[in-house]
Structures are given as C-alpha cells and as structure tokens.
Structure 1
Amino acid sequence: MAHLLGAEALHLEYPTRVVFDSVTLGINEGDRIGIVGRNGDGKTSLLGMLAGRIEPQSGRVTRRGGVRFGVLGQGDDLDPAAAVAQVIVGERAEHEWAGDPAIRDVIGGLVSDIPWQARIGELSGGQRRRVALAALLVGDWDLIALDEPTNHLDVEGIAWLADHLKHRWPKDSGGLLVITHDRWFLDEVCTQTWEVHDEVVEPFEGGYAAYVLQRVERDRMAAASEAKRQNLLRKELAWLRRGAPARTSKPRFRIDAANLLIEDVPPIRNPIELQRLAVARLGKDVVDLEGVGMRFGEHEVLREVTWRIGPGERTGILGANGAGKSTLLGLISGALKPTSGRVKRGKTVRIGTLDQQFSQLSQIGAERVRDVLAQTKTTFTIDGRDHTPAQLLERLGFAREHLAARVDELSGGQKRRLQLLLLLLSEPNLIILDEPTNDVDSEMLTAMEDLLDSWPGTLIVVSHDRYLLERVTDQQYAILDGRLRHVPGGVDEYLRLRSEQDAAHATDRPDVASQPGSEQPTGAVSGAQRHAAQKEISSIERRLDKLTATIEAVHQQMAEDDPSDYERLQQRADEVRELESEVEQLEERWLELSEQIA
C-alpha cells in the first residue's frame, strides 16, 4: 500500500520531562489507527508532531507529495461572528453543496438541529464542536487526524461518525488517526492501535478488543511487577468475550484465541451474590416512579414515566441530547420535584451521585488530597480484601506523589478519580453516574469498571460511552418522545427505534427534504436485505464449522500417512491450502455482511 506519512527518530521533551525518545512510525493508505494511552503520556503531542503543529527537538516528519491532511484538535479556532453555513460550506453556492450527497450526509449526521444561519458565538460548546467536525469532514482529505472527536456527541452521533469513517474512503485508501477514550468507537473503526507509554509508541494489530488481547499476551510474559495490570486486563478480556452481544460478533479465529486465554477466568460479576448483598443493604424498596411527568414552563420533558427500580439493578439510560436523561436522574435523586405523578424512595436508600461538574469537590478545593482521605473511613472492602483510601486511589491510577497536591491543583482526570473514590467511601447503596467518562483515559475507565464490578448496590448510568454502558450495566432503558422504554436489545435496539422515529417524523413533515442534512443516510439496509444478510451469515457459519472439521481431519490423515510417500503428503498439503483459502474468503464475506447490518 502507498505511503502517506512517516516519522523518523522523533524526540520531544519539555522542561520537566521527556515525552518521546526516538520514535519511528509510518502511516499507509488504508490504515485506520486508534491512539490510546494514559492522560499526559503524549497522545495529543504525537498528533501535533505528525500534523506539523509541534516541532520535535530532533527527528523529522515526511509526507508523500500532494497528501491532503485534515486535523481536528481538542479546541477550535472558529470565528465567533461567522455563521454556521459559512464555517461548514464556505462561499460555495447552495446548489453546489446541496447537490453533493457526501456534504449533505455530513450536515445531516452532525448539525441538522443547529440553525443554519446562527452565529458561532451564540452556540454551546457541544454545538461548536459538531460544527468544527462537520467543517473538517466536508473537505476532501487523504489523511484525517481526530483528537477526541466523540466529545459532545450522543450515541446516535457517535454511531453516525463511526459509519461515516468506515465508508469515507474506498478499501485500502485514505488514512485515519484518532485519539479517543471511546472504546466501542475504537473497535468499530480502527484496524490498528498505537499505545503511547513510557516515551515510546507501541503498535498493535486490530481495534480495542484485539489490543487488549495482545496486551494480555505480552503481560503474561512480563515481570512479576506487572501482575496487577495483567489481572485487570484479563478480566477486561473476559468481558470482551462474554459480555455484550456486540463483542461476540468477531471472526471465529479471534474468538478461539480469546477463549484459550480466559477459559479459567470467572465471570466478571456474580449477579446473584451482588443482588443478595444489595437486598440486605437496601431492602426491597429502592425508588418507584409512578406516572411521573416533568415540564419546564410550556416544554414537556417527561410524561407518564412509571419505573420501579429494584435492589441490585444495574441500568443504563439512553437518549439523545436534550431528551431528559439528566432530568430523570434529578427526579430519582430528589434534586427535582415532578410536576405530575410521584416519586417514592425506600427508607434505607442512600444516594450518591457522580455529576459532570465535580460538585463533590467544590467545598474541599483548598485541602490537600492526603488530608481529604484522612477524614474518610479507614478501609473499604473489595473482593473480600480491605483497602485503605490511598490504596484505592492508587488502584484508580492516582500517583502517590499527587497526594500532597491541593484538590484545585489536580487535572480533570485526577479530580474524576478522587470524586469517584469519595463517592464509594461515602457508602451509598444507590449510585448515579452522569457522564462519568469525561476527562478519563481508558486505563482509568477499566479500573473504574473493575471497582464497580464488586460494588453491591443499585447502579444507574447515563453515558454516551457505549462500551461503558454495556460493560457495567445489565439492562438499558431509553427516553423516546418523553417516555421511558425498556430496550432489551440495548444500544442497537435504541438506534433502530430512533431511526424509525426519525423516518416517521420525516413522513409527517413533507418539507423536511429541503432542510440541510435531512436526507436519509446512504447505504441504509432494508428489512428484507437485513433478513437475507442474516440468513447468509448463518449459512457461512455452518460452512466454516464444516471446513474447520475437514481441515482437522486432513491434518490427522497427514499424521497417519507414510512419511516417505511425498506425493500423498503433497496432495494433502494442497488440499489444506485450498480449504484454508475458502475459509479466508468466507471470513471476509462474513465481516462484510456483519458491517452491513451493524
């Protein structure tokens, strides 16, 4: 494949530390690369050097002649006085951009709800982010670099962006670099993963799931000092194989490799034991919502919500931005009073909330972390073992040297770690997590999930991080048109319902086709096509089973054949090659069909 960009012997350091030392890497046509690593290890700096925005102390970055490189940073430099239309399509005439299906698709996927003539300075931070992303994606690029592109996107927006990037270029052309903590997005889009750590960039084949598998294999051979990280990643791998149904939609060779590693790993949670402990702590009554409605002035946000939250339930809440998720959490916690219906809480319920604003830390900003921990309970039991608050904080990836820092001096990720720790130490029996992945890297997310696995209580999570939702919750509800609805099929079912809802609204509003971005996404699969694809997938899987058995039988025959009969052995070897070639073709077709109906 043709070369797009290369970096040779890059060295970058700041006055306090070396970030990279002699890093060499390359990007070719067809590469879809996810960049992962702890906060502060240099992911954004790496992207800055490759894009030419940061100058390394030594080494060089080279591009193939004529390569068009588009970059989305974490911030934006949009003109506050410019209109949304001007930022996205520039001075192009309406008939020019409106006649381009690729541009219409980007507008419909990202900014269809933003007024076309609104000024950038009037928009919220989330709206500005989507405008900046749309302005980049309508361009014609050979290589795109995205730094946290899923920030401020809801589940639907993230799903649209993943689909757009998967189909933006023909196969084996174009290049993508993406930094994100959204592990579902990494798995969905990326074919390679670069881990940034300890002044180096380490490449892995595949998306997040494959990266975890290879990390486990590498760490199994590491020194004893890596045992803690290894066990955590093995547990994560067990989730990838046994957890959400989406994670099992992988080629069989990957599933078999994962099974060998996790055959002796217990389930990530013991739901029966956790529910028993939850009932003991909570009783049978937690929170009941009976015919609850909520309106602000003339705007009705929720209506006729009836939900009995039981002890030990682990529930994820889905919904578009503005659908009423935070309002629902406020009603459950008691921060809001319903305008109709009633909310009943059990007498023993103790609610703890992890919010987006770090409100739990607002009163202790001037205190040192060690002093804050000294005021808490002395031990916390996880998996039958007692841990001190300092040990828990270290388990969450908090460096010991930061114990002397004042709370206000901590980074966003460090504050999130401390906020979660203080929440757990307050011993609530109902935890509400409102967008807990903000300012958090993938290792912190894994550690957070590990702690929550052994926490006995009721858990309610609102997050656009699909991976987290599927990982820590056992059921999902969705807010659709102000009503709360159970979605047994999880995020996939929710996205299907939202698509049907949008189609129904478009039918009710015949003028919708004239609005920017109102077109249906290209490549949508009809019910009949989906049924046919699923039928073919089943047929392929049956054929793969037969081929695997045949290959094993031929290998057995080769072992029993006369070793001096070279002609017979050659025939057997040729037969195996033909069978393996058919297996490879079928797996490619299996992947193609799976992507069509995803």
Structure 2
Amino acid sequence: MNLLSVDNATKYWGEKPLYENISFGIQQGQKVALVAKNGTGKSTLLNSIAGKESLDGGTIAINKEIKIGLLEQEPTFEEGQSVLDYVLSSDSEILRAVRNYEEAVALSSTDYSDAVLKQLDLATAKMEEFKAWDAEARVKQILTAFKINDLSASMESLSGGQHKRVALSKILIEEPNLVILDEPTNHLDLDMIEWLEEYLTRSKLSLLLVTHDRYFLDRVCNEIIELVDGTIYTHKGNYSYYIEKKAEREANHAVTVEKAKNLMRKELDWVRRMPKARGTKQKFRMDAFHDLKKKAKSGKKEEKVQIQVNMSRLGKKILEFENVYKSFGDKKIVDDFSYVFKRKERVGIVGNNGVGKSTFLNMLTGTESIDAGIITKGETIVYGYYTQKGLSFDEDIKVIDVVRDITENHTMGDGTSLTPLQLLNRFLFTPEKQHSFISTLSGGERKRLYLCTVLLQNPNFLILDEPTNDLDLDTLSVLEDFLEEFQGCVIVVTHDRYFMDKLVDHLFVFEGDGIIKDFNGKYSEYRAYLDELERQKKQALKEEKKATEKKVQPKTASKKLSYKEQKEYETLEKEIEVLETEKEELEGKLSDGSVSDADEIREISERLGVIMDDADEKMMRWMELDEIANG
C-alpha cells in the first residue's frame, strides 16, 4: 500500500531554494532514511510531510486511511500537561482506557475512599471491555525503556532531553502507520538507542527518519534517500549498501564528466572556427555543444569542511588525577579516582544519563571544584571544550562577526594565515551565509560554527561532549579524519557508537555511585563483554535453580518428558533452526541490496517480524521442555 507520494516538491528559504522539484514515495513496510547535508532542508521537508509547513511548489499526497506520527527536534506540549496526559493524549479508545486506569491506580495508592475505589473499578471494567491489558503492558515497556518513571510530573519541569524521550515514547505507543523521526537518537543513552533499534527492526511500522547515527541507519533502514544539489538518489538496502553504491555512482559520474570535457575541447575548437552563416546542421551542433558544456560542468568538486588547527605545544606533564572525590549531597559522582593522561590518548566516556559524565568533564577543565584529592594540570595544556549545550549565539549578529570576535588573522597548522572570511569558507559557509544572521542557521550549521570557534583556540586537549548531534554525515567523516591525525589528547562523550568505535582506544565506564572503570577496548568490544557477562549470569542462575530443585525434590518426584512432549521437544529444535536460517537469508537480502521492489521489501520486513515472534515463542517452549528433560 502506498502511504506517501512527494511530487516535484519545492521550498525556498528567502530567495534561495532549499530543494526544487524533488519526488519520492514510501510504501507500507519501508524503513527509509533521508540523508543530506546540513542546511539543505531535511527538517523542513519532514515538517512539510507532517503538515506543519507548506511547500512553495509541488504536492505531497498522503493516503487518507493512514495516521502519521512526527518526532520533532523540539517537541511542543500544552501548559500544565503531565507526562501521563501527554503520552496518552490520543483518539484511541484503548489508550484512553489505559490513561484512566493508570490515573485511578495512582489515586488509589494514597486515597482509599469509596469514590476512588469505584473509579478504579470502572477503569478496570473499561480495560476488560477494550481488552487493553496488552496495550498497558506495551505502554509500560516503552516508558521503562526510556527511563520515564514519574508519570505525574509536569512536562514543563522536564529537561529538553527528557521532552524528546517522552515525545518518542508517545509516538511508539500510538503506533501510527507512518512514523517520521527527526534525529531520534539525540538525548538517548546507549542502552536506549540499542533498545529502540531492536524495537524498530522488529516492528511493522513504516519509517521515514533523519539521523546521523550510522549504526542505527545500518541496522534499522532498508532504503536510503539522498538529497544532493536538489536531486534525489534512491538506494534500496541499508547504509553500508548505500555507501558502496554512492561510491560507484560518483566514480561513474566522474568518468562521464571527463569524457564530456574531452569532447567539449574538440567542439569548442569547432565553435571558434565556425563560419558566420548558420544552417540547420550548425544550429543542431551548437545545441549539442551547449548540452555537452552543461554536462562537463556538472562534475564540480564536492566541497567538504576543512578542519585544521595550529596545535599548541604539549609538554611532558599533561593531566593527572590523584584520589579524586566528588559528590552532590548523597549522590557520588567520582569516588577515589586516579589516572594519568598520556600524549595522543583517545578516551571514550560511557554511562547512563545522570551519572555525572558532564560534571567529570567540567572537573577536567577546572570549572567544577572537587571535594578531595588532587588534579594536576600541565602548564602547556590548552583546552578545546565542545559542550553539549554549545554556544548561546546572539541571534541578531552575523555569522562572520562571531569569528571576528575571536580573531582577525588566524595562523593555521601549515603556517598559512586566514581571514575570518577564509576560515568560514573552510567550514562551508558561503559569503552569502557568512553575512546572514545567526537566526537563519539550521541546527547543524550552528553546530558547525560552534566547532569552528572551539578549534580557533588552537587546543592540544580536546573535550567533546556529544559532538555528533545535528552534524551531517560528511562533516562527521571529516571530523573523524581530523581527530585520527590530531597529536593531542581527545576525550569523547557520545551516543554515536560508530564515531566512538572509530576513534577511541579505551573507555571510562561510569557505573554509578562514583565508580569509574577503565575498559581497554572500543565500545563494540565493551558491548560484547557485557553481553557475555549477562549470558554467564543467566547460565549461573539456571544451574543454581536446577541444583536447588534437585535438593528439595525427592528422586521419585523427578519428572520425565512424556512421549508427546519428547516429540515436541525434538520438533521444536528443528523448527527453530529453520526459522533462524530463514531470518539470516531475509536479513541478507535487505542488506546486500539484491531486492529493489518496494512491495517485496515490505513483504520481507513483515515476514521478518513474524519469524522473530514465532522463533521467540518456540524458544520459550523449548526452554520449558529442556528444563524438564535435563532437570
């Protein structure tokens, strides 16, 4: 079923087109990512599809039978609205029943009056009437995954990151036919991102999303739409397949442009020697020449951010922590932490939201005091601190004035001197954009400008707190290349697992209660380590349970599989193996790009969901029988 058709969509920002005459569609079951550079109108396009912005040209046709859910970068809510009211504010009778039931349960925990108990009875009856218990369980599962615990809290009392998590929960709970997500992984910790990945992969929801998280793109999406210079390129398959095909496309285009240039040289010589009298043949050849000229010029070099610093000299002593303590009241942030930083060190910091990662970074720079211990800072250290909040730019000043306030003539690492205009050119701010007001910049452009101001300090110790938020994929790639060559120290706090895996050598793991462990490896290795610990824990619990049952049960009470159960047990093993094989084959088809038909992609996605559910059910039954058989 066709959910959405975008036909010749055009949108201007002032006189400048964000995009012109772009067309694409989304079918049921597709999980599509929109990829484009910052400032090209990705968020604007998503808002137009959701009906929150108008187009300047073209049409967006939405199937009348479907419902769309949009996760905005900055969700809005009504004044005085509680988390519960916001999350369950829906036209769905089932979700209304769940909301009334949750409200009644909350009241009855403190008020035992007959009126409240009657309200609870009525709410319970409605839950029974609409068979809403599964919905209530799903609501709690989603809210728990995003660590939303206080449903009575007002939305106004929450932080920006909490707003985003609550808004994302609301969309998943409502289960619209088409979910539109704008940077869904921002403000989520790593556990939440991995849960969301798994949920969306198994869900039958259709998706259109914008994200910089390459692992997320690779594991969730089965189609990539790329917007380049006003042209849409569609790639069936995941992010890895898209990168491969994009490289092929650009290589083929380069060959075509080079051939056109060679032909144009010959045609140019003919044009210059052409007699004044122009017949039909000459006119035809002139028209062909102009077409050739256009094709030859289409191979303009793709501009990328140029990141370079004149790094300040870094001495032998860099930074040392000796038995450092830090608490806020009863909450421990750092408990007896010691560490000596070394040259070219690459440290990633991981841990749940609220365990004190940002506080630790402020302790590094001296903007946050410590309770006990010693932090010794080398005399040559020059910090470059890219904070999560970024700069609070004055909306009414021009982009170029931001840089002029820092430097009028900046010396780069290669010895060249650059003016503010030249510096901003390297960060892909055109002369027109440089003389625009801050208020006109997109979120990604603001982050790019902020990165420029940080690097202008010529740091030798970079602290990056969520540097990947809102940066486009091309800028991220350039930043990664720069950091790999950077000769100073780098500390990174990020939920972007790809970024962390590519750059860091080891991790500071914030486990809570002031405990910081040094893990020697990248994030993917740390995740595998945790998975193995969890497997061992489950195995130990299973063996402990078996041992306990053997002690308390007499030998005569031991149970054996019946003939029927034994047959079921053997059959389940084979069925699970068949399902796993089919699952691998289908996932392979989606990732290698061998399937291009939208209907077939949808059918494969739906089949994957069925297989996963069926496999889980059979595995649970097999484990029950296995426990009896081997008990």
Structure 1 residue 35, shift from structure 2 partner: 0.9
Cα 1:364–1:335 change in 2 (3 A) is farther
Measured in 1, the distance between the counterparts of 2:196 and 2:465 equals 23
Aligned to 1:107: 143
Q: Is the 8 A contact 2:398 2:435 kept in 1?
A: no
Aligned to 2:200: 165
Structure 1 residue 485, shift from structure 2 partner: 1.4
Classify the secondary structure of the residue corresponding to 2:70: strand
Measured in 2, the distance between the counterparts of 1:54 and 1:10 equals 12
1:451 to 458, 461, 482: 482
**Residue 491, structure 1, aligned to residue 517, structure 2:** no
Measured in 1, the distance between the counterparts of 2:358 and 2:334 equals 11
**Residue 201, structure 1, aligned to residue 232, structure 2:** yes
**Residue 19, structure 1, aligned to residue 18, structure 2:** yes
Q: Is the 8 A contact 1:295 1:301 kept in 2?
A: yes
Aligned to 1:324: 356
| 1:144-543 → structure 2 map (5 Å cutoff) | 144-169=179-204, 174-220=205-251, 221-222=253-254, 223=257, 229=302, 281-359=313-391, 368-369=400-401, 372=404, 375=407, 378-381=410-413, 390-405=421-436, 412-481=443-512, 482-492=514-524, 494-495=526-527
Aligned to 1:573: none
The number of residue pairs the alignment matches comes to 471
Structure 1 residue 307, shift from structure 2 partner: 1.8
Aligned to 2:597: none
Classify the secondary structure of the residue corresponding to 2:413: strand
Give the partner amino acid of 2:186: N
**Residue 10, structure 1, aligned to residue 9, structure 2:** yes
Superposed CA deviations along residues 377-434 of structure 1, whole A, max 9, x for unmatched, are 543136x988776555333322233334566775544443333233323222111112
Q: Identity of paired residues, percent?
A: 30
Measured in 2, the distance between the counterparts of 1:430 and 1:108 equals 38
Aligned to 2:176: 141
Cα 1:143–1:295 change in 2 (3 A) is same
Superposed CA deviations along residues 296-337 of structure 1, whole A, max 9, x for unmatched, are 233221112122211111111111111111111112112222
Structure 1 residue 72, shift from structure 2 partner: 1.9
Measured in 2, the distance between the counterparts of 1:139 and 1:372 equals 49
**Residue 119, structure 1, aligned to residue 181, structure 2:** no
Aligned to 1:260: none
Structure 1 residue 359, shift from structure 2 partner: 4.6
Aligned to 2:32: 33
Superposed CA deviations along residues 130-165 of structure 1, whole A, max 9, x for unmatched, are 111111111132221112222221222222211111
Structure 1 residue 84, shift from structure 2 partner: 1.4
Superposed CA deviations along residues 410-460 of structure 1, whole A, max 9, x for unmatched, are 554444333323332322211111222334322322232233233211111
Structure 1 residue 202, shift from structure 2 partner: 2.1
Q: Is the 8 A contact 1:393 1:417 kept in 2?
A: no
Structure 1 residue 11, shift from structure 2 partner: 3.4
Q: Is the 8 A contact 2:410 2:417 kept in 1?
A: no
Q: Is the 8 A contact 1:380 1:388 kept in 2?
A: no
Classify the secondary structure of the residue corresponding to 2:492: strand
Structure 1 residue 78, shift from structure 2 partner: 1.9
Cα 1:159–1:80 change in 2 (3 A) is farther
Structure 1 residue 41, shift from structure 2 partner: 1.1
Measured in 2, the distance between the counterparts of 1:461 and 1:371 equals 25
Measured in 1, the distance between the counterparts of 2:63 and 2:440 equals 43
Measured in 2, the distance between the counterparts of 1:231 and 1:37 equals 13
Higher mean C-alpha displacement, 125-134 vs 342-351: 342-351
Higher mean C-alpha displacement, 37-46 vs 457-466: 37-46
Measured in 2, the distance between the counterparts of 1:406 and 1:336 equals 33
Classify the secondary structure of the residue corresponding to 1:149: coil
Structure 1 residue 228, shift from structure 2 partner: 5.6
Measured in 2, the distance between the counterparts of 1:337 and 1:196 equals 47
Cα 1:343–1:164 change in 2 (3 A) is same
Measured in 2, the distance between the counterparts of 1:427 and 1:488 equals 29
- For the pair shown, the structure with the greater C-alpha radius of gyration is 2
Cα 1:460–1:390 change in 2 (3 A) is farther
Give the partner amino acid of 2:364: I
Cα 1:160–1:25 change in 2 (3 A) is same
C-alpha root-mean-square deviation of aligned residues, in Å? Answer: 4.2
Superposed CA deviations along residues 538-571 of structure 1, whole A, max 9, x for unmatched, are xx99xx9xxxxxxxxxxxxxxxxxxxxxxxxxxx
Cα 1:353–1:176 change in 2 (3 A) is same
Cα 1:489–1:200 change in 2 (3 A) is same
Give the partner amino acid of 1:440: L
Give the partner amino acid of 2:35: V
Give the partner amino acid of 1:490: K
TM-score, normalising length from structure 2? Answer: 0.65
Cα 1:392–1:485 change in 2 (3 A) is farther
Cα 1:29–1:487 change in 2 (3 A) is farther
Measured in 1, the distance between the counterparts of 2:396 and 2:7 equals 46
Classify the secondary structure of the residue corresponding to 2:321: strand
Unaligned runs of 5+ in 2: 89-94, 103-123, 259-296, 538-572, 589-603, 617-631
| 1:34-113 → structure 2 map (5 Å cutoff) | 34-64=33-63, 66-89=65-88, 91=96, 92=98, 93-94=101-102, 96=127, 99-100=134-135, 101-112=137-148
Superposed CA deviations along residues 62-85 of structure 1, whole A, max 9, x for unmatched, are 344522322222232322322212
Structure 1 residue 211, shift from structure 2 partner: 2.6
Cα 1:62–1:391 change in 2 (3 A) is same
Measured in 1, the distance between the counterparts of 2:431 and 2:461 equals 30
Cα 1:420–1:370 change in 2 (3 A) is closer
Classify the secondary structure of the residue corresponding to 2:48: helix
Q: Is the 8 A contact 1:147 1:179 kept in 2?
A: yes
Measured in 1, the distance between the counterparts of 2:4 and 2:439 equals 41
